[in-house]
Amino acid sequence: MLAAAWCAAVLAASPATARGPECVVPAKPGGGMDLTCKLARKGLSAVSAAAGVDPALQINYLPGGIGAVAWNSMLTQRRAEADTLVVFSGGSLLNLAQGKYGNASAADMRWVAALGADYGMIAVRSDSPYKTLADLLDALKRDAGKISIGAGGTAGSQDWLKVSIIARQAGIHPKKLRFVAFEGGGESITALLAGHVQAVSGDASEAALYAANGGIRVLAVMSDRRLPGVLSGVPTAREQGFEVTWPIVRGFYMGPGVPDAEYRKWVGAFDRMMKEPGFDAQRAEHGLYPFALTGDALTTYVRKTVDDYGRQAKELGLSR
């Protein structure tokens, strides 16, 4: 009798029954995806009661295959988990478009919310002879092989594509560009400051840290309009005659089998969270610029973006 009572108590207190909502980071700890989970956990605490969700997101890490491991897990094993959110970024959508998740499409998942975005940028060292984007492109036209461009990832990565699209519009064949691959934007900028590369393609939030102390000169940001803060004086690529914007969105998706009521509950919770007076400041603290889409609007955006990325990759010779 006592044994039975003890077993019942253990079962009642077991992790399986006490488990709360989970935020899956498809990468190692640290970095933008990790920060996205932490931003959601902080923001949801203000609206959880009204929205009917538990804000105590348990953050778990599932790296591998540049997001493919987490994607396949949700598609094959965790399709209907109603309280499991997985972080995605613009890089995730690019990988999806290039077939790096296998035979997958944007229609495979339920897209919940995008909380913010970073934006692409091109920068040089502050003492560089290239004062404008036009200066850099003119030098690349003369002799692209003399200018090393630091980029996170290899051919086909976001950083590679950002510069390649602009170069192509300027009449420079992307294959003539001399890229140097790094693990991430921080390493690229470190190499720029040390003089190992002459330009970098990266993200605005990282560039702002170095531009603030005068170490680098940002030549263009790839946003619809000029960004606030340190980079407010930097012209967009569009202002300089190049039809390219590159938002690096960060948000969440859920498995395809999640019931509609549960999916809508989370969509509603993020809608409430992003309308809170303090959320804009929280987003900025986590290195993101304003960008908010949820539910159906986000789903439309994701599907169009994946299609656009696929088309751009094919135009640049990156077949799926």
How high is the pLDDT of residue 156? Answer: 80
Looking at this protein, which amino acid is placed at residue 218? Answer: V
Query: Span 49-64, mean pLDDT?
Result: 88
Residue 88 sits at φ, ψ, to 5 deg, of -130, 160
Helix (H, G, I), strand (E, B) or coil at 159: helix
CB atoms within 10 A of CB 230: 17
The answer on pLDDT for 14 being more than 50 is no
Does 155 have pLDDT greater than 90?
no
pLDDT more than 90, % of the chain = 62
pLDDT tens digits, 69-109: 999 999 999 999 999 999 999 889 998 998 889 889 999 99
> Please, are residues 178 and 150 in contact by the beta-carbon 8 Å criterion?
no
pLDDT 10s digits, 176-196: 999 998 866 678 889 999 999
- Tell me: pLDDT of 139 over 50: yes
36: tokens are 């996205």
List, for residues 273-297, the tens digit of each pLDDT value: 999 999 999 999 888 999 999 999 9
User: What is the pLDDT at residue 18?
Assistant: 47
Dump pLDDT digits (tens) for 193-221.
999 999 999 889 888 888 888 899 999 99
- Whether 2 has a pLDDT exceeding 60, the answer reads no
- Cβ neighbour number for residue 213 with a 10 Å cutoff: 9
pLDDT at residue number 144: 93
**Domains in the chain with CATH codes:** 21-117+247-315 (3.40.190.150), 119-231 (3.40.190.10)
* Whole-number pLDDT of residue 184: 65
**Structural contact between residues 89 and 32, judged by C-beta atoms closer than 8 angstroms:** yes
pLDDT for the residue numbered 10: 37
Q: What is the 3-state secondary structure (H, E, C) of 165-198?
A: HHHHHCCCCHHHCEEEEECCHHHHHHHHHCCCCC
Helix 295-315 with 158-169: angle, nearest 10 deg: 60
Average of per-residue pLDDT across 128-154: 93
Question: For the purposes of burial, counting CB atoms within 10 Å of the CB of 33, is it exposed (0-12), middle (13-18) or buried (19 or more)?
Answer: buried
- Mind listing the pLDDT tens digit for each residue in 225-279? 999 888 999 999 999 999 999 998 999 999 999 999 999 999 999 999 999 999 9
**CA–CA distance, 188 with 194 (Å, rounded to integer):** 10
Confidence label for 11 from pLDDT (cuts 50, 70 and 90)? very low
